[in-house]
Amino acid sequence: MATAATADTTTATPAPASTVAATCAAAKRAARALAQCDTAVKDRALAAIAGALRDRIPQILAANALDMQAGERGEIGDALLDRLRLDEGRIEAIARAVEEIAALPDPVGELIDGRRLPNGLDLRKVRVPLGVVAVVYEARPNVTVDAAALALKSGNAIVLRGSSMASNSNSVLAEIVSEAAVGAGLPEGCVSLVAGGGREELAEIATQTGTVDLIIPRGGEGLKAALQAVATVPVIYAASGNCHIYVDAGADLEQALAIVLNAKVQRPGVCNAAETLLVHERLADEFLPLVLEGLGDAGVLIRADGDSIERVGGDPAAASQQLAGAVVEPASDEDFATEYLAPIIAVAIVSGLEQALEHIARHGSGHSEAIVTRDASAAAAFRLGVDAACVYVNASTRFTDGGEFGMGAEIGNSTQKLHARGPIGLRELCTFKYIVEGDGHVRS
């Protein structure tokens, strides 16, 4: 796992580096005040953050250029560089996402359930903030702002711990967000960035049981494993996305081709990109040459099972060959379990829906899975049979995103089955409490 980012920016005024414990304690104090903030105050703070991002674009781009140069020297790869890169358009999109979050209904105080009990007590179940949320993330500077905006709108203080690959970008963005939020009336310590301590720092954050209420790691399996080994604080894993597209016998091939290309090619370095293509055996002879040509034109490397290679006239024993306009290599079992985050896709032929479901159950990560079919019964069986946070019928997996789902942004995509599953937005950053009102009631 990559090490963390640079200097801490806990308050609106630059301060000496703080220990993790002290930073989390300050966030806890801020969380108590945030829980009582009016919606108007929080929305004003978000508007100030969006404005500050636009005003300080040159500073953000200069910091990001340093990270990009370091990434290029370190040869981190095109996909990671794409995740790391900021430009004016991307900064504007981040600012707009903050404004979209501000425009959403405030979840705090929302009535979930309510009734009068037979004894006359009024019982209400209402949404409340979690408190202090720590977000650990890799090589995505936009997460610094997205996570902070979602946390503040939902009444939570946030402790950010980004990757060393984005250290300069994260430091500037956290400073901008903190200054704007505090300047607009939110408590100091509401947004903090901790950095510089490597695995020891991560372990310290993960064991702040008295101050941190939830950790959300947004990264690969290495980050997940590192936290699982030490965490005493509750964790919602926004982890890997080994996403599949299954092209059923009843598929519209034109739709299937468009969906596969979008899911793999549009942005291959993100967690909702497709990593495996499964094709029904009845369509393989017709569809595989089409899809391999399209993927090959986009520069995607194919790792295919023997049956797929034979169907397009190849030799399953060849280490690498040009088939239907694409570079094709034989796939191992490990290839089907890999989240590439790169222009590589695993391809296999399956006998039908049941084998596709078995393959996904064995190799999938519970993120996003898609079927392309005009057969309503196959679509229904897929919806019921796939165990994933997001299931698509005749649509690309690339839609698994808080912004696309109308949440403004997301902190990550939960692959667990706790209170949050799928994109983690405002409501997912809340818990609830029961409020019971009486008139001198005592229990007999």
Asked whether residue 256 falls in the same domain as residue 230, the answer is no
Strands 132-137 and 214-218: parallel
**Helix boundaries (H) for 266-333:** 284-297, 306-311
Asked whether residue 218 falls in the same domain as residue 318, the answer is no
Q: Is 3 a domain residue?
A: no
Q: Is 15 a domain residue?
A: no
Asked whether residue 250 falls in the same domain as residue 357, the answer is yes
Asked whether residue 202 falls in the same domain as residue 285, the answer is no
Q: Which domain holds residue 113?
A: 20-238+411-437
List CB contacts of 178: < 8 A, sequence separation 6 or more: 9, 10, 11, 12, 190, 191, 192
Instruction: Tell me the residue type at 381.
Output: A
Provide the pLDDT for residue 416.
86
Strand partners, 134: 159, 215
Asked whether residue 191 falls in the same domain as residue 310, the answer is no
Closest CA to 431 of 32, 108, 51, 57: 108
Asked whether residue 247 falls in the same domain as residue 151, the answer is no
Structure-block tokens of residue 143:
């997460």
Asked whether residue 75 falls in the same domain as residue 110, the answer is yes
Provide the pLDDT for residue 79.
79
Provide the pLDDT for residue 50.
98
The neighbour count for residue 136, using CB atoms within 10 Å, is 28
Query: What's the total number of domains in the chain?
Result: 2
Provide the pLDDT for residue 83.
87
Per-residue pLDDT of the chain (444 residues; tens, 9 = 90+): 333 333 333 333 333 346 899 999 999 999 999 999 999 999 999 999 999 999 999 999 999 999 999 999 999 888 789 889 999 999 999 999 999 999 999 999 999 999 999 999 999 999 999 999 999 988 789 999 999 999 999 999 999 999 889 999 999 999 999 999 999 999 999 999 997 667 788 899 999 999 999 999 987 778 888 888 999 999 998 768 999 999 999 999 999 999 999 999 999 988 999 999 999 999 999 999 999 999 999 999 999 999 999 999 999 999 999 999 999 999 999 999 999 999 999 999 999 999 999 999 999 999 999 999 999 999 999 999 999 999 999 999 999 998 899 888 888 889 888 788 999 999 999 999 999 999 999 999
**Whole-number Cα distances in Å, 401 to 171, 244, 297, 393:** 25, 16, 27, 16
Q: What is the DSSP letter of 115?
A: E
- The CATH number of residue 384's host domain is 3.40.309.10
Q: Is 405 a domain residue?
A: no
Q: Is 36 a domain residue?
A: yes
Asked whether residue 210 falls in the same domain as residue 250, the answer is no
Q: Is 13 a domain residue?
A: no
Q: Is 2 a domain residue?
A: no
Strand partners, 434: 125
Asked whether residue 270 falls in the same domain as residue 140, the answer is no
User: Distance between CA 124 and CA 438 in Å, rounded?
Assistant: 12
Q: Is 332 a domain residue?
A: yes
Asked whether residue 364 falls in the same domain as residue 431, the answer is no
Asked whether residue 429 falls in the same domain as residue 390, the answer is no
Q: Indicate the length of the chain as a whole number.
A: 444
Burial bucket for residue 206 (CB in 10 Å: 0-12, 13-18, 19+): buried
Q: Is 37 a domain residue?
A: yes
The neighbour count for residue 318, using CB atoms within 10 Å, is 12
Q: Are the CB atoms for 186 and 153 separated by under 8 Å?
A: no
Closest CA to 136 of 78, 90, 86, 205: 205
- The CATH number of residue 100's host domain is 3.40.605.10
Which long-range contacts does 225-228 make (Cβ < 8 Å, 24+ apart)? 226/1, 226/199, 226/202, 227/136, 227/202
Provide the pLDDT for residue 140.
87
Asked whether residue 148 falls in the same domain as residue 25, the answer is yes
Q: Please report which helix (H) or strand (E) contains residue 399, including its range.
A: none
pTM here?
A: 0.83
Provide the pLDDT for residue 10.
35
CA torsion sign for 435, 421, 405, 143 is: positive
Provide the pLDDT for residue 8.
35
